[in-house]
A and B are shown apart, each in its own frame.
Chain A
Amino acid sequence: AQSVAQPEDQVNVAEGNPLTVKCTYSVSGNPYLFWYVQYPNRGLQFLLKYITGDNLVKGSYGFEAEFNKSQTSFHLKKPSALVSDSALYFCAVRERDYKLSFGAGTTVTVRA
């Protein structure tokens, strides 16, 4: 079974509107969760992580994510999307054996 799922292949929003990219996980215990972004022909860039503490995590480029243990979710959010946020976003969870398991990715398109 997949440890992390991104239920939407694509998300389309207008510039200035809120952006949400969904992620759910299925590891037991206290998960370590990450969000990465990938621009065309470039490697993955770290956005933010949840280890412990406050359920709302703030990261790079104005992104934040909310950890919800009861819903086993870690959705990525941005209050006001920019055209430059158009990219491929990956959610990842740290497994017990230190492996990082990635979701299949969500393509975000922000239209001007």
Chain B
Amino acid sequence: EAGVAQSPRYKIIEKRQSVAFWCNPISGHATLYWYQQILGQGPKLLIQFQNNGVVDDSQLPKDRFSAERLKGVDSTLKIQPAKLEDSAVYLCASSYGLAGGNEQFFGPGTRLTVL
């Protein structure tokens, strides 16, 4: 079974530039998550989709971050414009559904460096 795919793996940009990350979840997984992991911290949920609808985006900085999941499969996360404090690893995860016992499967992440 293929895992969660993410691209690119690494990205370096200047502050105020834009950047986009892509995620392809495990086939059949209805729920998709984007997390931000700052060095030395645990992952923090940014947004959660159920199929192509947003379940929770309360911790997404909506003035600069946006995400979409067209057709309920792939997802993109965009930052525009980027700030220095956005430097982090962005993790995508998917699970079979929202039920409490479903474990999340994580992709390898995209390491973003903002200069």
The judgment on whether A and B are partners is: yes
Question: Interface residues, chain A, CB within 8 Å of chain B?
Answer: 32, 34, 36, 41-46, 49, 51, 90, 92, 94, 97-100, 102-105
List the B side residues contacting A42 at CB < 8 Å. 108-109
What is the size category of the interface that chain B forms with chain A?
Answer: 20 to 34
Binds A, one of B12-20, B37-45, B66-74, B77-85: B37-45
Across the interface, A102 reaches (CB within 8 A) one of B43, B48, B56, B109, namely B43
Smallest CB–CB gap between A61 and chain B, Å?
15
Smallest CB–CB gap between B7 and chain A, Å?
13
- Asked if B106 and A49 sit within 8 Å, CB to CB, the answer is no
Across the interface, A43 reaches (CB within 8 A) one of B42, B100, B108, namely B108
- Can you report 7 A-B residue pairs in the complex whose CB atoms are below 8 A from each other? A32-B100, A41-B108, A42-B108, A43-B93, A98-B48, A100-B33, A102-B44
Complex alpha-carbon distance, A28 and B5, angstroms: 35
Residue interface mask B99-113, A partner, CB < 8 A = 1: 011011111110100
